[in-house]
Amino acid sequence: MSRTNPPPHRRRRAALMTAGVLVAAGVGTGGLLQGTASAAAFGCDVTYSANDWGSGFTANVTITNTGDAAANGWALTYSYAGNQQLQQGWSAVWSQSGKTVTVEDAGWNANLAPGASTSAGANFSYSGTNSAPTAFAVNGVTCGEEDPGDPDPGDPDPGDPDPGDPGTPGDRVDNPYEDAGVYVNPEWSENAAAEPGGDAIADEPTAVWLDRRAAIEGVNGGMGLRDHLDAAVEQAQDYDDFVFQVVVYNLPGRDCAALASNGELAPDDIDTYKSEFIDPIAEILADPAYADLRIVTVIEIDSLPNLVTNVSPRATATPQCDVMKANGNYQEGISYALNELGDIPNVYNYIDAGHYGWIGWDDNLLASAQLFHDTATMNGATVDDVHGFIVNTANYGPSVEPYYSINDSVNGTSVRQSSWIDWNRYVDNQSFAQGFRQQLVSLGFNSDIGMLIDTSRNGWGGPDRPTGPAAKTSLDAFVDGSRLDQRLQAGNWCNQAGAGLGERPTASPATGIDAYTWIKPPGESDGASEVIPNDEGKGFDEMCDPTYTGNPRNNYNMSGALGDAPLSGHWFSAQFQELLANAYPPVN
Ligand code: BGC
Q: Atom 11 (ligand 1): residue with closest C-alpha?
A: 569
Residue 539 Cβ inside 6 Å of ligand 1? The answer reads no
Mean pLDDT of all residues belonging to the chain: 88
Ligand 1 atom closest to the Cα of residue 538 is: 8
For residues 120 and 519, give the distance between their C-alpha atoms in angstroms, rounded to a whole number. Answer: 30
Q: Across the strands, what pairs with 546?
A: none
Q: Atom 9 (ligand 1): residue with closest C-alpha?
A: 569
Residue 412 CA, ligand 1 centroid: distance in Å:
44
Residue 209 Cβ inside 6 Å of ligand 1? The answer reads yes
- The Cα diameter of the chain in Å comes to 73
pLDDT at 3 over 60: no
Ligand 1 atom closest to the Cα of residue 521 is: 12
Considering only residues 157 and 460, tell me which one the structure prediction assigns the higher pLDDT: 460
For residues 493 and 531, give the distance between their C-alpha atoms in angstroms, rounded to a whole number. Answer: 18
Residue 261 Cβ inside 6 Å of ligand 1? The answer reads yes
Region 117-129 average pLDDT: 88
Using pLDDT thresholds of 50, 70 and 90, give the confidence band for residue 1.
Answer: low
pLDDT at 418 over 50: yes
Residue 328 CA, ligand 1 centroid: distance in Å:
24
**Strand 141-142 relative to strand 181-182, pairing:** unpaired
SS3 120: strand
Asked if the peptide bond before residue 151 counts as cis, ω within 30 degrees of 0, the response is no
Residue 189 neighbours by CB under 8 Å, 6+ apart: 202, 203
Ligand 1 atom closest to the Cα of residue 1 is: 7
Residue 275 neighbours by CB under 8 Å, 6+ apart: none
Residue 375 neighbours by CB under 8 Å, 6+ apart: 304, 330, 331, 334, 335, 338, 381
Catalytic, out of 45, 302, 485, 545: 302
pLDDT at 307 over 90: yes
Residue 567 CA, ligand 1 centroid: distance in Å:
9
Instruction: Report how far apart the first and last C-alpha atoms of the chain are (Å, whole number).
Output: 31
* Confidence (pLDDT) at 142: 82
Q: Give whole-number Cα distances, 227 to 94, 154, 155, 232, in Å.
A: 49, 56, 53, 9
Ligand 1 atom closest to the Cα of residue 207 is: 5
**190 closest CA partner among 202, 201, 181, 182:** 202
CA-CA-CA-CA dihedral for 295, 296, 302, 304, to nearest 10: 90
Residue 301 CA, ligand 1 centroid: distance in Å:
10
Region 554-570 average pLDDT: 97
Q: Which of 191, 211, 392 to mutate to test the pocket of ligand 1 (most atoms within 8 A of CB)?
A: 211
448 catalytic residue (yes or no):
no
* Confidence (pLDDT) at 465: 97
Q: Cite the beta strand spans of 361-474 per DSSP E.
A: 388-391, 409-410, 413-414, 450-454
Q: Atom 4 (ligand 1): residue with closest C-alpha?
A: 569
160 catalytic residue (yes or no):
no
Residue 1 Cβ inside 6 Å of ligand 1? The answer reads yes
Region 36-42 average pLDDT: 52
Pick from 69-73, 186-190, 563-567: least confident: 69-73
* Helices of type H across 345-470: 356-359, 362-376, 429-442
Q: Atom 12 (ligand 1): residue with closest C-alpha?
A: 569
For residues 483 and 243, give the distance between their C-alpha atoms in angstroms, rounded to a whole number. Answer: 33
pLDDT at 15 over 70: no
For residues 65 and 42, give the distance between their C-alpha atoms in angstroms, rounded to a whole number. Answer: 7
Residue 249 CA, ligand 1 centroid: distance in Å:
9
Torsional sign, CA 24, 432, 485, 539: negative
pLDDT at 170 over 60: no
- 557 and 516 in contact (C-beta within 8 Å)? no
* Helices of type H across 343-407: 356-359, 362-376
Q: Which of 187, 249, 254, 538 to mutate to test the pocket of ligand 1 (most atoms within 8 A of CB)?
A: 249
Catalytic, out of 408, 526, 541, 545: 526
Considering only residues 68 and 436, tell me which one the structure prediction assigns the higher pLDDT: 436
Residue 261 CA, ligand 1 centroid: distance in Å:
7
For residues 113 and 194, give the distance between their C-alpha atoms in angstroms, rounded to a whole number. Answer: 62
Asked if the peptide bond before residue 156 counts as cis, ω within 30 degrees of 0, the response is no
Kindly report the pTM of this predicted structure.
0.75
Residue 524 Cβ inside 6 Å of ligand 1? The answer reads yes
Residue 521 Cβ inside 6 Å of ligand 1? The answer reads yes
Residue type, 72: N
Region 229-242 average pLDDT: 98
Residue type, 181: G
Residues 173-230: pLDDT tens digits? Answer: 999 999 999 999 999 999 999 999 999 999 999 999 999 999 999 999 999 999 999 9
pLDDT at 38 over 80: no
